[in-house]
Amino acid sequence: NAGVMQNPRHLVRRRGQEARLRCSPMKGHSHVYWYRQLPEEGLKFMVYLQKENIIDESGMPKERFSAEFPKEGPSILRIQQVVRGDSAAYFCASSPSSGGVTDTQYFGPGTRLTVL
């Protein structure tokens, strides 16, 4: 059973470009979470999605950031008009179910975004 997959592993963008990060959850998992880790800081929750629904986006910056988890295909975190402060490691996690309690989240290897 393959784990959570993220691509690309490393992404370099110039200021003003768009960054698109992809996450394929573990087989059988329908819940996806995105976290951001800045250098020397802890992981910060960004967004929680289920198939075709954004459940909680309280950690997402109000502008330039968006996320989706379509019925088919991977979850996408999109950052428009990137700035240097967006440089970070972005981690995706997935879990199998909900039901009022949080299941263990399984993390991918992350995408390291560098904005020049």
Partner 1 sequence: SQKIEQNSEALNIQEGKTATLTCNYTNYSPAYLQWYRQDPGRGPVFLLLIRENEKEKRKERLKVTFDTTLKQSLFHITASQPADSATYLCALDTGFQKLVFGTGTRLLVSP
Which residues are near partner 1 by CB under 8 A?
4, 31, 33, 35, 40-45, 48, 55-56, 58-59, 91, 93, 98, 100-102, 104-110
Closest to 7 in 3D by CA, of 26, 27, 28, 23: 23
Closest to 8 in 3D by CA, of 95, 93, 89, 107: 89
In the complex with partner 1, which residue's Cβ is closer, 86 or 94? 94
Residue type, 79: I
Farthest-apart Cα atoms in the chain, separation: 43
Shortest gap between Cβ of 111 and partner 1 (angstroms)?
Answer: 10
Shortest gap between Cβ of 47 and partner 1 (angstroms)?
Answer: 9
Residue type, 67: A
Shortest gap between Cβ of 45 and partner 1 (angstroms)?
Answer: 4
Sequence-separated (6 or more) residues with CB below 8 Å from residue 42? none
Shortest gap between Cβ of 81 and partner 1 (angstroms)?
Answer: 26
In the complex with partner 1, which residue's Cβ is closer, 17 or 98? 98
Q: How many residues are there in the chain?
A: 116
